[in-house]
Amino acid sequence: MALSLYDISVPVFTRGLGQLTYILDKGLAHAQAAGTDPSELMNARLAPDMFTLAGQIQSASDAAKFGVARIAGVNAPSFPDTEATYAELQARVTKTVDYLQTVDRGSIDGFEEREVTMKVRGNELKFTAQRYLLQFSLPNFFFHVTTAYDVLRHNGVPLGKLDYLGRF
Amino acid sequence: MALSLYDISVPVFTRGLGQLTYILDKGLAHAQAAGTDPSELMNARLAPDMFTLAGQIQSASDAAKFGVARIAGVNAPSFPDTEATYAELQARVTKTVDYLQTVDRGSIDGFEEREVTMKVRGNELKFTAQRYLLQFSLPNFFFHVTTAYDVLRHNGVPLGKLDYLGRF
């Protein structure tokens, strides 16, 4: 079996988003057991100038969505960052997984050299699809999933590494 | 250019470890400017039962070292977790990068189906090299690099996402 660009993108993001759902569910269960409002978790952050948990989830969603859309050469759907409740935040993750499933293997595999152009802090950057995925979108995606985990752990949610990695 | 197992492992870990060095350097500079002992940062953590910064660095090093050694079918060198100073922690990252450079592309490319066996929490798990890399070692590596970043950010070190992602 040869490696393919689809194999290192859609299933990786999908698995990570599945674990993010699992982690968010544990956060909600913890808040419910403690009798606290889950919106406190939504608005928690690790530093005053870092994103809140909500921002981490929205960013993980965007990283996966753009990560796949750009290497497939299609326009990503718009997911405005309007989630106001914990349930909406959970739905954002599900919606992202649903979108990934609509992207066809045939639009990704073999397109390692497709040009990807994006703006970062006002600078236009050009990548090949492969370099964009490996140097930008996968590290960026795992950054936001991990930081969501770290925010929840810092706020007392009982999580372990396997909740992030998943079952094998 | 076809995708290869080497391309999605050694250069990805090497880049991540390079950014980890950069982030650790910024942590040291921050401690020095503030006149604080950098060992306070080394021992900082986000939750009482999470690893300290030192543990995150050691774990990122191990994730990269084993991630590459196992898919190459070679024994990884032993890096005992004995780092007692911030400088030794920085050296651990450098030593890991140096090790990755010794692993030959020819021992990795084409071995997507090589069997990787490892123990997690007492359970023996079997993977193909490709699945091990994509489902275990890359997500695990980014987890520890990101959590190191999050520990430093939580402790006031001025970092931005591009310090983690690197320059393009």
Render pLDDT for A6-43 as a digit per residue (tens, 0 to 9). 999 999 999 999 999 999 999 999 999 999 999 999 99
Condensed to tens digits (0 to 9), the pLDDT of residues A73-94 reads 999 999 999 999 999 999 999 9
Partners of B135 on chain A (C-beta within 8 Å) are 12, 15, 165-166, 168
Beta carbons within 8 Å of A54's beta carbon, 6+ residues apart: A42, A43, A81, A83, A89
> Could you give phi then psi for residue A76, rounded to 5 degrees?
-80, 145
B109 close contact with A: CB closer than 8 A: no
**Contact B3/A1, CB-based, under 8 Å?**
no
At A156, list the tokens. Answer: 């007392």
Percent of chain B with pLDDT over 90: 95
A160 close contact with B: CB closer than 8 A: no
SS3 B116: strand
Contact criterion met (CB below 8 Å) for B113 and A1: yes
Contact criterion met (CB below 8 Å) for A110 and A128: no
pTM assigned to the model = 0.98
ipTM: 0.97
Q: Is the pLDDT of residue A1 over 70?
A: no
> How confident is the model at residue A144, as a pLDDT?
98
Partners of B125 on chain A (C-beta within 8 Å) are 168
Please report, for residues A36, A111, B5, B59, B155, the alpha-carbon distance to residue B110 in angstroms, rounded to integers and kept in the order given: 52, 20, 7, 27, 43
CA B68 to chain centre: 11
SS3 B120: strand
Query: How many A-B residue pairs are in contact by the CB < 8 A criterion?
Result: 115
